[in-house]
């Protein structure tokens, strides 16, 4: 259970820094990446802007992979150091937490989980 939580935290670090959303938001997010054209009547000038890049979803990856992957790569390059720091702190935190909670977790596994669910399941 704790290992699954640690894995989710690592996945969250990666998706939030590269895609701008959580792992769940990546799966369920809106498909809205693309170009938007606007025209200024007063100046008589048209412009094209990239929209939907703040949160990249799986739908964005499928509908427009070039734009989505390009933005994700750009975000990755900009967030490499913060991701490394967050990953290191996560590793240290979970390592210390597992060490501090070793005895209570063993007690729960031995007295509650094993009698109820069997030998193959543990926290």
pLDDT, tens digit, for every residue of 27-75?
999 988 888 888 777 777 788 877 888 899 999 999 999 999 999 999 9
| Residue 36 maps to a domain | yes
Span 71-98, pLDDT tens digits: 999 999 999 999 999 999 999 999 999 9
What residues does 36 pair with on adjacent strands?
Answer: 49
| Residue 123 maps to a domain | no
| Residue 96 maps to a domain | yes
CA distance 77 to 19: 12
65-78 helix and 80-100 helix, angle to the nearest 10 degrees:
70
State the residue range of the domain holding 56: 2-117
How many structural domains does the chain have? Answer: 1
- Say what the pTM is: 0.76
| Residue 38 maps to a domain | yes
| Residue 18 maps to a domain | yes
**Where residue 13 falls among pLDDT bands split at 50, 70, 90?**
very high
């Amino acid at each position: 259970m704790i290992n699954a939580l640690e894995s989710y935290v690592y996945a969250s670090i990666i998706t939030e820094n590269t895609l701008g959303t959580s792992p769940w938001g990546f799966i369920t997010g809106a498909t809205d990446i693309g170009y938007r054209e606007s025209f200024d009547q007063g100046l008589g000038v048209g412009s094209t802007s990239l929209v939907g890049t703040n949160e990249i979803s799986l739908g964005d990856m499928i509908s427009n992979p070039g734009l989505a992957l390009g933005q994700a790569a750009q975000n990755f390059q900009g967030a490499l150091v913060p991701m490394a720091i967050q990953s290191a702190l996560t590793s240290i935190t979970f390592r210390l937490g597992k060490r501090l909670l070793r005895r209570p977790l063993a007690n729960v596994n031995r007295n509650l989980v094993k009698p109820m669910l069997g030998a193959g399941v543990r926290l």
